[in-house]
Structure 1
Amino acid sequence: MDDDLSFALFLADRADTVTMSRFRHADLDVRTKPDRSAVTEADLATERALRSLIAEHRSGDGVVGEEFEETPGEGRRWIIDPVDHTDNYTRGIEVFATLIALEEQGRITVGVVSSPAMGRRWWASRGHGAYTSGPPWPPQADGSGDGRTARRMRVSAVGDLADAHLSYAALDHWERRGLVPGIVGLSKATRYEFASACFWGQMLVAEGRCDVSLNPRGKIWDNAPIQVIVEEAGGRFSDLAGEPRVDRQCAVVTNGLLHDDVLTRLTR
C-alpha cells in the first residue's frame, strides 16, 4: 500500500464488492435527497467502507465524498463518488461506477473509475499513462484474451468535427446554462452523437472510441478522476472557460485536437 495508485485500486476492489453485493436486489433501500437525486444503501455503505480504509492506511489524508461531510487533511485528500449514476444502479442498469481520485496540493494525481457490472476499469497516475482492463478490445481473432490484462489508452487522432463522435446528455442542465443552441450546433457539426454525459462517454474518449464528451453538471467527485485519466491518455479536460478545473460543475472532455473548436461552438 505504499504506492498511491495501488492503494486507489485496492479501494476500487473494496467498492466493487460492496456495490455488487446489493446490485439488482429487489429490497434495495433507495431514498431521495433534498436535491431530488437518489441515494441508496450501497452509496452510503461504499463511501463508509472507503473512508474506513483511508483512515486506516492514509491517516493524515483528507476525504471529500458525495454522501458525507469532508474530512480535512494535510495537503492531500481523497475524492470519492461511491456510485456514479445511482439512477442506473437503482434500475439494474450496468452503467454505474465508483470514482476515486487523489488530490495533492490542489492537483489531481491519481484517478480510478471502476464499473464492476460492466466488467471494466480505467485508471491513471500523473506521468505514467492511462490504462484500462476488461473485455479485450479489439477482440482477438481466435476469441482469446484476458480481460484482466491492462491495456494502455490513447485518445483518437480525429481532427475534424465532421468526423467526430459526440456524447452528451442532460439537456435541461444545458438549457439552464443557455447553451442548448451550442449543443444543437455541435450535434449538427459532428458525424455521430449519443446520449452519455457520465464516466462512460468520458472513458470512451480516453480509449479513442469517442472524441467529445460534454457533462453540464459534474461535481468535483464526478470530475476529479476523469481529468487525470483523460489527460494521461493524451486528451484534454476543462470547464466551459477552457480552464483545467474540476470544481466548476461541468466537464468538457475531448481528444485535445477538437477542444478549442468545441468550446467556441458551444459557448458562442
Structure 2
Amino acid sequence: MASYDDDLRFAHVLADAADDITTRRFRALDLRVETKPDLTPVSDADRATEDSLRNILRRSRPRDAVLGEESGQTGIGPRRWVLDPIDATKNYVRGVPVWATLIGLMDGDDVVVGVVTAPALGRRWWAAAGGGAWTGRSLTKASRCQVSQVTQLSDASFSYSGIGGWAEAGRLDGFMSLSKAVWRTRGFGDFWSHMLVAEGAVDVSAEPDVSLWDMAALQVIVEEAGGRFTNLAGVATPDGGSVVCTNGHLHDEVLAHLTAGTAP
C-alpha cells in the first residue's frame, strides 16, 4: 500500500490555515451570511476559508484537482482534494461551537487521507489509509481512535443530525424504528456524530442526505478506526447521497431498520 504520510502532514497544514480564518470569524459581529440557491446559509468565512485552502493547494500541489463546496471542481487527475470549509454552517452562524473544516484526499475512487478540524471544540481527528485513526491537537499529541465493541442494538447509542431530512427522504418510519430499537438517541449532528462513532463514544450515526464534501474526510477516519461506513444501500462510498456509520457489529441490523418499508 502506498504511503500517504506526506499528504497527511500537508492536510494538517491546510487544517491549521483553516482554523486561523474560521476562529477569527466565529461570533464576529460583522459576519456576513447569505443564502445559496438551495436555501442553505453560506458565510463570508466559508468562502474565505475555501479560497485560502485553494491558494495553498495551487502553490503546493499544482497537479492535484480540488473539489470544494463553495467553488466546485478545478483541475483534473486521479488525485483530488475534497473540501468543506465549514461543515455545520448553521451552527457557525448562530454561535454554536459544533462546526468543522473537512479536508479529504481521494486517489481515484478511494479516500486516502482525512482531517476533521473543529477548533471551537478544541478537537481534531485524522487518518491516512493503513495508518489508523487518531485524535488530538497535533500529529505529535494524539491518541488512537477505536470504535466501540457494543454488539446489541438495545445497548447502542445513535446520533443523527435532524428528523426533517428523514421525513423529506420518505424514510421517517425507518428512522423511528431504529430510534426505538436503540438504548439512546442524541442529535449531536453533522461531522461530530460520525467522529463520535470513530472514537467509540457513539455506536451508530446516520444522515439521509449528504454530499461528497460532507463525507470524504470522514470515511477514511471511521474505517481506520475499525468501523463501517456506507450509504443507505450498504455501499461503502463517500459519494452515495446518504451515510450510515457504525462500529461494524451493528451495521446490517441498522440498515435493516433504516430501510424498512422503503423501496430499494
Q: Shorter-normalised TM-score: what interval?
A: over 0.9
- Tell me, what secondary structure is at the counterpart of 2:141? coil
Query: Do the aligned partners of 1:170 and 1:216 also contact (CA within 8 Å) in 2?
Result: no
Find the aligned partners of 2:116 and 2:21 in 1 and give their Cα distance.
15
> Which of 232, 235, 240 is matched with 1:243 structurally?
235
Render the CA deviation track for 1:147-174: whole Å, top value 9, x for unaligned: 9720001000000000000011332221
**Aligned residue number for residue 141 of structure 1:** none
Corresponding position of 2:26 = 23
Gaps of 5+ in 2: none
Q: Does 1:14 align with 2:17?
A: yes
Partner of 1:101: helix, strand, or coil? strand
| 59, 70, 74: which one aligns with 2:73 | 70
Kept in 2: contact 1:112–1:122 (CA 8 A): yes
In the alignment, is residue 39 of structure 1 matched against residue 39 of structure 2?
no
Secondary structure, aligned partner of 1:3:
helix
Match of 1:165 in 2: 157
Partner of 1:102: helix, strand, or coil? strand
Matched-pair contact (CA < 8 Å) for 2:5–2:128 = no
Stretch of structure 1 that moved more, 67-76 or 220-229:
67-76
Q: Any residues of structure 2 matched to 1:1-268 within 5 Å, and which?
A: 3-134=6-137, 149-268=141-260
Identify which range, 169-178 or 38-47, moves more after superposition. Answer: 169-178
Deviation at 1:197, TM superposition (A): 3.3
User: Would you say the 8 A contact 1:205–1:213 is kept in 2?
Assistant: yes
Q: What amino acid does structure 1 have at the position aligned with 2:99?
A: F
Q: Which whole-Å CA distance do the structure 1 matches of 2:156 and 2:29 have between them?
A: 40
| CA separation of 1:198 and 1:148: change in aligned 2, threshold 3 A | farther
Normalised TM-score (structure 2)? 0.94
TM-score, structure 1 normalization = 0.93
Deviations 1:98-136 (A, max 9, x none): 0000000111000000000110000000000000015xx
**C-alpha contact (below 8 Å) 1:62/1:76 kept by paired residues:** yes
1:51-78 Cα offsets, whole Å, 9 max, x none, are: 0000111000000000003102221100
Q: Aligned-residue CA RMSD in angstroms?
A: 1.6
Q: Please, which runs of 5 or more residues in structure 1 have no aligned partner?
A: 135-145
